[in-house]
Structure 1
Amino acid sequence: DGLLPIAADTTPRLAVIGHHARRGRNQGGGSAMVFPETVVSPLEGLRQRYGADCVTYAPGVVPEPELHHFERGTVTDPATGAPGIRVRYLDGEGTAFVEEVFPTGRCGWLGDERLARAATLEVVTRYTPAYTGHHRLGFAGLGHNVFRIDDRVLSAGPIVADSDDVLQAILNPPSRAFDVELEAGQPVEITLEFQPDLPGGFPIARLTLGTEDVFDTPAEELAQAEALAAAADIAIVVLGTTETIESEGFDRPTLALPEGQDELVRRVLAANPRTVVVVNSGSPVLMPWLHDVPATLLTWFPGQEFGAALADVLSGNAEPGGRIPTTWPATETDVPVWQVEPVDGRLEYTEGIHIGYREWQRRAAHGGPAPAIPFGHGLGYTTWQIADPNLATTTEDEITLTVDVTNTGTRPGKHVVQAYLSRTAPSAIDRPECWLAGYTVLHAEPGRTVTARIAIEPRSLEHWSVDEQAWLREPGAFSVRVGASVAQLGAAVEIPSPR
């Protein structure tokens, strides 16, 4: 309805709400993890773009306790004063045989000979608090520990896995955090003596030193979020998954967002109808409020420039030009495939070739539920009209479509025009209702019509024959439809059989 983009030169009052606005997920967990030089949070990016005076912030929801690693610039190596934390590898006699400095409070090892040789890791750093008052500092890792802040021993003893899944226990080890009173600008020395618990003796471990956020009561945090939203021109709610529910090494028990986030959207929307929701997850989640909010933006895990990229898109410097490569359900009961664990040692792939959007389309043809977001869907900041396609080339080696696409809006834009094949004649082959066969990306100024060309590989009309061990094309007619998603297609155009 035109709420986006939000031009930066209009100096709007923005209420940025949600724990993910301050602690956004820029990457996935597990072995995909890297250590970025810097990370721009959504809150930082929006304040840089619109001005700190124009942006207020409230977490809104008190999340489950989560240890956040010390970030660059908050800790220094006591030995040199340079940024980072120092790790000393000690042998059985307590002698350091090697040392190294990690840039943040997040450390990981995989197949590391030094870790296999070490009896103890001694981790030490100086942390400088940004404010005076109550803080929560701690660590996470599997093994025996002695944790100190200055000369105070706050933890001593073993930390064992709370899961039978070894990989999950390593990637998401239990954490311990402790309440301390600190003074702004006055560094404290943090030391952890750690004897890692190596599964089967294999040198793999993960260790985190960091902080837990301190919140008011859930009712107070929600009330503050509502008040900020009501006083703002536009509210931006940033929410998403956490590393404890979406990561490598374990399955998610539900597609729902963490507790309280859906209610936060409803309460903020009631306080300010001009609300944008930003979803920060790496895979589908349920969004029961999707059709109530004016705009929803899916960011996935967008990398270290998360906040800067978000500001570019929300301000209109860039268009949200993506198209969704998965299908997102409205409810969990709508999901076609939910049984994904072996039974008696076997997992039957009964869906066959009908995976993803193909199964959604097959069920829709028989009155099944529609998804919340269909495969290929995505909006930008203008509108489009797609004409019926023409067959420009049809041979055994080449099939090319041309289609006129008009930008009917008021802004330059990007569109992704998609072509889907279907079987027109009766078929002896188990086929989807339709299948993606080609697409093209185009750009157009307002009011301009451009001609898109979409190449379709002849292989897209073939099927694999197990009996003949070859790709074959079944005689008879196929058709192609073009549109903006699998759920928004135009008239069918028949593809004649090659002579």
Structure 2
Amino acid sequence: MYLFDSEIKALAKLTTPQKVKLLTGLGWWHTEPIPEADIPSMRFSDGPNGVRGTRFFNGVPASSFPASTGLGSSFDAIGDEARAKSVHVLLAPTVNTQRSPLGGRGFESFSEDPHLNGIIAAAYINGVQAKGVSATIKHYVANDQEFESSDLSERALREIYLKPFQIAIKKSNPWALMSAYNRVNGLHVSENKRLLDDILRKEWGYEGLIMSDWTGVYSTSESIKAGLDLEMPGPSVMRGRALERALIAQKVSLRDIDERVSKVLGLLERAKTSGIPFDGPEGSLDTPELRQLLRMAASDAIVLLKNDKNILPLGNQHKKIAVIGPNAKFAMTSGGGSAKLLSTYAVSPLEAILEAAKERDAQVKYAVGAMTHKFLPLLDPYIQDGNGQPGANLEFWNEAPLADFADTSPDFSKELPPPVWNTSTLSSNCMLLDGIDKNKVKIDSFIRYSAKFIPDEDGDWEFGLNLAGRGNMFLDQKLVIDLSTAPFNLGALFGAGTQDVRSLVKDLKAGQEYDLEIRISNADFATQALPFPFWGVIRAGAIKNVDGDTAILKAVELVKESDVAILIIGLNHDLETEGFDRPNLELPGLTNRLVSEVLRAQANTIVVNQSGTPVTMPWINEAPTLLQAFYGGNELGNGLADVLFGRVNPSGKLPLTFPKRLEDTPPFPSFGDQGQETGKIHYNEGIFVGYRSYEIRKLAPLFAFGFGLSYTQFDYSNLRITSITTEGEFSLSFEVKNTGNIEGREISQVYISDLQSSLPRAGKELKGFAKTHLKPGESKTIEVSLDREALGFYDDQNMRWIAEAGIFGVHIGASSEDIRLAGKVELENTFTWTGL
């Protein structure tokens, strides 16, 4: 155990109880302070695509960057966001290799390819840590489904799932790492000494802190001896008094505890030198420069998949533009779960297209076409508090303010007594984990959520409500939804979540104010045995009622009257989210029917799919134009409009293979419910993940890994390859020329194949890439340096990496399928290695 002098001195000052205290978090987002030893509390924050800060409820707004499957740059700006919130440790990036497109958290990771995953993660980490903020690489490792055992071969573990962590640690040295919830081959990662100590610390030389995922520690002495430094969140479940008892019983030694504490002190030392205040204020960043950066990142995350009729970019001849689709009006900034945050602002595709059309004197009309929500969209755009400001009021009582408070027909003429505490909120999605004055409000409280509801369209509106506890929704003092007499317990929301109940309210008028009120008793919820304070959950939504057949008919009529249709479809944060895997790859609801009918009615239709991971597209042969937009963050609308109208020439490439059908995906049928053994996930595909699998099975995907078009064209030529040194290093060069008449950027990809391997290997593997900006007619020479990692595979019999003497193929492509140049290079002598 190597310690810096400052850590040795700090460790020497601590008593054993103080050391034990440091190994567990303080609440959700802080470490425990020891003021008498000059040890302040470090602040953590979720952050795959932004920096939420320390609150789920009423958090300080933050910039939402494109989700990881679309993210390519701007990582230092995320570091600036963390500093603005006085965050010392950012819980990102997520680098789990994407095994199945059904995975609910797939949008959080970068790619199905371990090399691309690791290289982008390293850039993310370097950008964030350059600002003095610790990155936290996660979730280590094979985090396919969170409470199962990932059962896989040593070779697949090494080459596919550990590899992105290994690359990122080698090229960026993240200061923190988060262990996964799951087990690997039967043993929880948080107590897996081989993964945490033997491989991570000893073999790779990792010196940073290892923390658990939240509530992801399942043992006391085992996790300590395996190398897990910090249990999160606090208060402790598996440490604290239990660890003191384990020390007395000699199940752990003081040296074991010192080793764990030293890592906490080491991270603290970095925090002290960062200049980030301890217990500092939480602020937001919103500058013109940041907005432009977010806009650029959003446009860079868009991939042009088809442009058969050269409809794009849209020209000035398109004066009547129809915008159709469920993802047009609402800004789907990110997927759901811990990655989702309260954005400082968000520009929807419809807003951005309307603005861009003004500059061209074009007319834009909108129709939804089909609805795809799992839960109704939040009330947020339609509510005002009592002062006419956006949002709602929340009031709390420790005793029922009236005898009939939680009834379905309370006496509204009776005035409520003053609440013990109240606050305002901008949202109708209230996760009351924090942000409540716990000194005034008891857990088993009574809550009133009240606002003015102002619809933006005439007609019938559907309202939805789910919550933790019992409650009712009223509109103008009339019962709309009853969740007080017989709420359904679904086991969600820690066992007290209700079913999402909906109700139709007829003949609302646009612009008219309606009194909306939700009255709740969470006494039932408060009886749940939870390891942390929790005042419940409120989630309310509303949308103008739309009949499916009528909505499609209106959309078809609109596109027939237009010069061009922009059809924006896809998934959303309810359908791609932590804690929920998709049951299939289909687009939701009537989406596919909507697409087919719009394509028949309007030949000039641009389909825009917005999802974090692949979907099937049964109408693909009829669609002349297709964009994959992913989740684009705050500026997703402007980023899309910039590509549609030609301000930006798209240059994105797919980080994931898009399959034609679920049955073609590499892990089928062993992912999810398809043939999964209870408690286990069998990684039957081994090393053949993503494009590796499609190639070896000679199975054509819908769109290949690495694929993406441009508004211009690129030619490749003049491949040159140097000899391989005895250490496995070599380089190659080639020329790329822009042969079109539009400025553009091309991402060239380098794949290596082993033509004489003693074990099965993929037909080719991505080992390098380069992004080149070229003016029309311009050419540049691209140089890529490679090392032994491009040649080797894992020899699981001898537990080492090996590069075998023989001939290797070198393939330069515009995608994994579109290979433009090919050559060969020879390794004269076999060699092996371990470690980084």
Q: Which letter maps to 1:222?
A: I
What corresponds to 1:28 in structure 2? Answer: 335
What corresponds to 2:621 in structure 1? Answer: 291
Deviation at 1:112, TM superposition (A): 6.8
How many pairs are equivalent?
489
With structure 2 as the length reference, what TM-score do the two structures score?
0.55
SS at match of 2:529: helix
For the pair 1:314 / 2:644, whether they are aligned, the reply is yes
Structure 1 residues 160 and 332, CA gap change in structure 2 (3 angstroms): same
What corresponds to 1:105 in structure 2? Answer: 428
What corresponds to 2:529 in structure 1? Answer: 200
Deviation at 1:158, TM superposition (A): 4.8
For the pair 1:363 / 2:363, whether they are aligned, the reply is no
Q: Deviation per CA, 1:330-367: give whole Å up to 9, x if none.
A: 12222231222441433221211111111111111xxx
Structure 1 residues 479 and 107, CA gap change in structure 2 (3 angstroms): same
Residues 144 and 195, structure 1, Cα contact 8 Å, conserved in 2? yes
Picking from 682, 686, 697, the partner of 1:348 is 682
For the pair 1:3 / 2:307, whether they are aligned, the reply is no
With structure 1 as the length reference, what TM-score do the two structures score?
0.90
For the pair 1:376 / 2:683, whether they are aligned, the reply is no
Picking from 635, 652, 663, the partner of 1:333 is 663
Q: Deviation per CA, 1:127-150: give whole Å up to 9, x if none.
A: 223344433344332320022223
Aligned-partner Cα distance in 1 for 2:364–2:767: 45
Aligned pairs (5 A) from 1:267-282: 267-282=597-612
Aligned-partner Cα distance in 1 for 2:500–2:560: 39
Deviates more, 1:289-298 or 1:106-115: 106-115
Picking from 741, 748, 751, the partner of 1:417 is 748
SS at match of 2:660: coil
Residues 112 and 203, structure 1, Cα contact 8 Å, conserved in 2? no
Q: Deviation per CA, 1:89-112: give whole Å up to 9, x if none.
A: 332465744322211222223467
For the pair 1:87 / 2:382, whether they are aligned, the reply is no
Structure 1 residues 479 and 266, CA gap change in structure 2 (3 angstroms): same
What corresponds to 2:720 in structure 1? Answer: 390
Aligned-partner Cα distance in 2 for 1:168–1:335: 34
Residues 666 and 688, structure 2, Cα contact 8 Å, conserved in 1? no
Aligned-partner Cα distance in 2 for 1:117–1:206: 12
Deviates more, 1:346-355 or 1:276-285: 346-355
Structure 1 residues 261 and 82, CA gap change in structure 2 (3 angstroms): closer
For the pair 1:57 / 2:369, whether they are aligned, the reply is no
Residues 457 and 544, structure 2, Cα contact 8 Å, conserved in 1? no
Aligned-partner Cα distance in 1 for 2:772–2:568: 30
For the pair 1:441 / 2:750, whether they are aligned, the reply is no
Aligned pairs (5 A) from 1:20-169: 20-51=327-358, 54-63=363-372, 66-72=375-381, 74-78=382-386, 80-92=387-399, 94=401, 96-110=419-433, 114=438, 117-156=443-482, 157-158=484-485, 160-161=487-488, 163=490
More helix by share: 2
Picking from 229, 234, 242, the partner of 2:559 is 229
Q: Which letter maps to 2:329?
A: R
Residues 162 and 174, structure 1, Cα contact 8 Å, conserved in 2? no
Aligned-partner Cα distance in 1 for 2:765–2:788: 13
Deviates more, 1:109-118 or 1:235-244: 109-118
Deviation at 1:64, TM superposition (A): 6.0
Structure 1 residues 28 and 184, CA gap change in structure 2 (3 angstroms): same
Residues 67 and 175, structure 1, Cα contact 8 Å, conserved in 2? no
What corresponds to 2:513 in structure 1? Answer: 187
Deviation at 1:70, TM superposition (A): 2.0
Q: Which letter maps to 1:443?
A: H
For the pair 1:19 / 2:326, whether they are aligned, the reply is yes
Structure 1 residues 34 and 169, CA gap change in structure 2 (3 angstroms): farther
Residues 25 and 281, structure 1, Cα contact 8 Å, conserved in 2? no
| Structure 2: unaligned runs, 5 residues or longer | 1-308, 402-417, 830-836
SS at match of 2:694: helix
Deviation at 1:222, TM superposition (A): 2.0
Residues 177 and 212, structure 1, Cα contact 8 Å, conserved in 2? no
Residues 369 and 554, structure 2, Cα contact 8 Å, conserved in 1? yes
Q: Which letter maps to 1:129?
A: P
More strand by share: 1
Aligned-partner Cα distance in 2 for 1:271–1:168: 48
SS at match of 1:336: coil
What corresponds to 2:787 in structure 1? Answer: 457
What corresponds to 2:542 in structure 1? Answer: 211
Residues 22 and 41, structure 1, Cα contact 8 Å, conserved in 2? yes
Q: Which letter maps to 1:387?
A: S
Q: Which letter maps to 2:715?
A: Q
Structure 1 residues 165 and 185, CA gap change in structure 2 (3 angstroms): closer
Structure 1 residues 180 and 224, CA gap change in structure 2 (3 angstroms): closer
Residues 326 and 370, structure 2, Cα contact 8 Å, conserved in 1? yes
Residues 143 and 159, structure 1, Cα contact 8 Å, conserved in 2? no
Q: Which letter maps to 1:98?
A: W
Residues 131 and 183, structure 1, Cα contact 8 Å, conserved in 2? yes
Deviation at 1:173, TM superposition (A): 5.3
Residues 105 and 208, structure 1, Cα contact 8 Å, conserved in 2? yes
Structure 1 residues 185 and 267, CA gap change in structure 2 (3 angstroms): closer
Q: Which letter maps to 2:453?
A: Y
Aligned-partner Cα distance in 2 for 1:116–1:300: 42
Deviation at 1:401, TM superposition (A): 1.5
Aligned-partner Cα distance in 2 for 1:226–1:389: 50
Residues 374 and 574, structure 2, Cα contact 8 Å, conserved in 1? no
| Structure 1: unaligned runs, 5 residues or longer | none
Residues 437 and 457, structure 1, Cα contact 8 Å, conserved in 2? no
Q: Which letter maps to 1:150?
A: D
Aligned-partner Cα distance in 1 for 2:556–2:472: 43
Q: Deviation per CA, 1:20-73: give whole Å up to 9, x if none.
A: 21234221122222111322221111111113851112222254674211225x
Deviates more, 1:435-444 or 1:197-206: 197-206
Cα RMSD of the aligned pairs, angstroms, is 2.7
Q: Which letter maps to 1:139?
A: L
Residues 142 and 159, structure 1, Cα contact 8 Å, conserved in 2? no
For the pair 1:256 / 2:586, whether they are aligned, the reply is yes
Aligned-partner Cα distance in 2 for 1:379–1:405: 15
Residues 14 and 232, structure 1, Cα contact 8 Å, conserved in 2? yes
For the pair 1:488 / 2:797, whether they are aligned, the reply is no
Aligned-partner Cα distance in 2 for 1:269–1:430: 44
Q: Deviation per CA, 1:421-477: give whole Å up to 9, x if none.
A: 10122x222311111000000011112211112232322212233454433222222
Residues 481 and 501, structure 2, Cα contact 8 Å, conserved in 1? no
Q: Deviation per CA, 1:2-32: give whole Å up to 9, x if none.
A: 210013x445311111122123422112222
Residues 116 and 203, structure 1, Cα contact 8 Å, conserved in 2? no
Q: Which letter maps to 2:556?
A: E
SS at match of 2:735: strand
Q: Identity of paired residues, percent?
A: 28
Structure 1 residues 416 and 400, CA gap change in structure 2 (3 angstroms): same
Residues 142 and 173, structure 1, Cα contact 8 Å, conserved in 2? no
